[in-house]
Amino acid sequence: MTDKPSHAYAPPAPRVWEYTLPGGFRVLAGKTDADNDRLSLHVARPNDWWFHVRGMPGSHVVLVVEKNHPPDRETLNRAAAIAAYHSKARGGGVVAVSGTLAGNVSKPRGAKPGSVLIRRERVFKVRPALPESDTPS
């Protein structure tokens, strides 16, 4: 008889910056490409919102959505602003950020860490910013 581990392999938890928005919404931003993969593909639930600055490197950002508590437009814009802040566009003015439900995010077979495909994209035009009382932790 061989001893098998009693648990399946689980990837390590991603290292993230975490923020709290008005209304109690949590926002998570990946720190590395591998963290972005884990955050987008293993931590985010289908109803959470996913964000990434368009056309340049940056963190994958997830707005955690609790059941029966959908985010309003202002909350989505604030999460998009966090994605813009955690990108190469941080010093820019208004930045285009892609957003979609996390269930619309997938990884192409063989793609490098941090690369994903998204469907049903919504574009947010925001200025890079963190929540007023927050600094990245």
Phi-psi region of 114 (alpha: psi -120 to 50; beta: other; left: phi over 0): left
The length of the chain in residues reads 137
Is the distance from CB of 59 to CB of 113 less than 8 angstroms?
no
Task: Enumerate the β-bridge partners of residue 105.
Answer: 118
Q: What is the pLDDT of residue 10?
A: 56
Amino acid at 82: I
Gap between the Cα atoms of 40 and 17, Å rounded:
14
Question: What string of pLDDT tens digits covers the 137 residues of the chain?
Answer: 445 444 555 566 778 999 999 999 999 999 999 999 999 999 999 999 999 999 899 999 999 999 888 999 999 999 999 999 999 989 889 999 999 999 999 998 988 888 889 999 999 999 999 987 554 54
The H or E element containing residue 123 is strand 122-126
Q: What is the pLDDT of residue 8?
A: 54
Q: What is the pLDDT of residue 114?
A: 83
